[in-house]
Amino acid sequence: MKVQLAPKLIAKVKKQDAIIRKSFRIAIGLFSKDPDYLELNNHSLKRAWEGFRSIDVTSDLRAIYQQIDETDETFAYFVDLGTHDQLYGKHKKSES
């Protein structure tokens, strides 16, 4: 699946330490080859993130994306990165 990253997400990833950046690159690479790769725990979200999906980057770090189906291809537009509490605490949704 083709992957696109939101500019705000790119900026957020650049601010992370080297281990997180590497884990993010690995997760996105696995996702590109197989979005349903078991270790990614790809799943749909509810409440404030309705219509989005999440993958695991590390045991607590998640990357959120929206699947966009166009006439000739499907792609994943990744919009946010954070821990479970940062992303879902009190049904939060950052401005993307």
- Structure confidence by residue, pLDDT tens digits, 63-89: 999 999 988 889 999 999 999 899 988
| Residue 18 covered by a domain | yes
pLDDT tens, residue by residue, 1-26: 899 999 999 999 999 999 999 999 99
- Tell me which DSSP letter residue 39 carries: G
Burial class of 22 by CB neighbour count within 10 A (0 to 12, 13 to 18, 19+): exposed
How many structural domains is the chain composed of?
1
Instruction: Give per-residue pLDDT as tens, 34-66.
Output: 999 999 999 999 988 999 999 999 999 999 999
For the domain that residue 16 is a member of, what is the CATH number? Answer: 3.30.2310.20
What's the start-to-end Cα distance of the chain, in Å? 21
- Give the domain range for residue 18: 2-91
Residue 96 pLDDT > 60, yes or no?
Answer: no
The answer as to whether 96 is a domain residue is no
Identify whether the C-beta of residue 39 lies closer than 8 Å to the C-beta of residue 55.
Answer: no
Query: Does the model's pTM come out above 0.85?
Result: yes
